[in-house]
Amino acid sequence: MSEIDWDLLHDRAKSIMKKAYAPYSNFPVGVAALVDDGRIVEGCNVENASYGLGLCAECGLISHLTSSGGGRLIAAVCVDAAGNFLSPCGRCRQLLFEHGGNNLLFMTPDGPTPMSTLLPWAFGPEDLGVHPHG
Taking the C-alpha atoms of residue 66 and residue 62, their distance in angstroms, rounded to an integer, is 6
pTM (predicted TM-score): 0.92
pLDDT of residue 3: 87
Alpha carbon distance 72, 61 (integer Å): 12
The per-residue pLDDT for 134 is: 59
Going from the N-terminus, what domains does the chain have, and what CATH number goes with each? 6-121 (3.40.140.10)
pLDDT for the residue numbered 2: 57
Report the Cα 21 to chain-centroid distance in Å: 17
Instruction: Return the higher-pLDDT residue of 133 and 119.
Output: 119
Looking at the chain, the whole-number percentage of residues with pLDDT higher than 90 is 84
Whether the per-residue pLDDT at 129 is higher than 50: the answer is yes
pLDDT for the residue 73:
98
Burial class (CB in 10 A: 0-12, 13-18, 19+), 112: middle
Catalytic residue among 42, 58, 98, 126: 58
pLDDT for res 132: 73
Mean pLDDT of 6-24: 98
Euclidean distance between CA atoms 17 and 120, whole angstroms: 28
Q: Would residue 47 show up in a list of annotated catalytic residues for this protein?
A: no
Q: Name the H helices within 27-85.
A: 57-67
Q: Which pLDDT belongs to residue 1?
A: 46
pLDDT classification of 124: cutoffs 50, 70, 90: confident
pLDDT tens, position by position, 52-88: 899 999 999 999 999 999 999 999 999 999 999 999 9
